[in-house]
Each structure stands twice: as C-alpha cells, then as structure tokens.
Structure 1
Amino acid sequence: MNNGISTTSQDKRKLEWRTFFLITVVLFPVLSVMFVGGYGFIVWMMQALFFGPPGH
C-alpha cells in the first residue's frame, strides 16, 4: 500500500526525530552540566590560586 510518502522519506524523517531527541535529551543537558561545572571549577581555581575567598 502506498500512502504517498516514499520509504526513504519515512526513513529520513525517523532519523531526524531520533537525532532531535538525542540532541534535546542527551546533548544539551550534558553540555549544560559541563559548562556550569567548568565555570565553577574555573572560579574555584582562581580563588584557590590567585584571589582568595570572597570577603568584605
């Protein structure tokens, strides 16, 4: 039965959805954690080596 959409088009659409979910469910959260953790590590190292803890 042909519903007007070719098999290659359906496969491409399926691949696009998988890629979208991979990016939104895996890649963005991992990158967000890495970015925030990296920033915190940089601030921590700067305080430990150069500036000292924040104070008045």
Structure 2
Amino acid sequence: MSEQPTAPPEIPTKRSERRVFLFITVFLFPVLSVMIVGGYGFIIWMLQLIFGPPGSHG
C-alpha cells in the first residue's frame, strides 16, 4: 500500500475572513431575523384563528 500525502489544511486569510464576516452580518443575520420574527407572527396569527383573540372570554 502506498500512502498518499495529505494536503495541509488551508489557513484562512484576512480577506476570506472579512468576506465571511460581511456575508454573515449583511445577509445571514438579517434574513434569519426576518424569518424568526415572521415565523413567530405566523404562529400567533394561526393560534388566534383557532382560539380567538386574546382577552377575557367571559
């Protein structure tokens, strides 16, 4: 059996780290925030359709 040399792991450069940081802060976090808030609002809306609006039912 012959051993194949393994490539050394890539060392992240400042440029690649900056690109990933910008992607996360400009794209990923805003999209996740909108999805979470929208999903929460949708759940509340559906619960109000099933159980009625909040407040006293007496």
| TM band (smaller chain) | 0.7 to 0.9
Counterpart check, 1:53 vs 2:22: no
Following superposition, the deviation at residue 54 of structure 1 comes to: 2.0
Q: Whose radius of gyration is greater, 1 or 2?
A: 2
SS in 2 for 1:54: coil
SS in structure 1 at match of 2:54: coil
* Structure 1: 4+ residue segments shifted above 2 A: none
Q: How many residue pairs are counted as aligned between the two chains?
A: 47
TM-score by length of 2: 0.71
1:5 maps to which residue? none
Aligned pairs for 1:1-56 (under 5 A) are: 12-49=13-50, 51-56=51-56
Shift of 1:55: 3.1
State the distance in 1 between where 2:33 and 2:46 align: 20
Aligned equivalents of 2:52, 2:16: Cα separation in 1: 50
Q: Percent identity?
A: 62
Aligned-residue CA RMSD (Å): 1.9
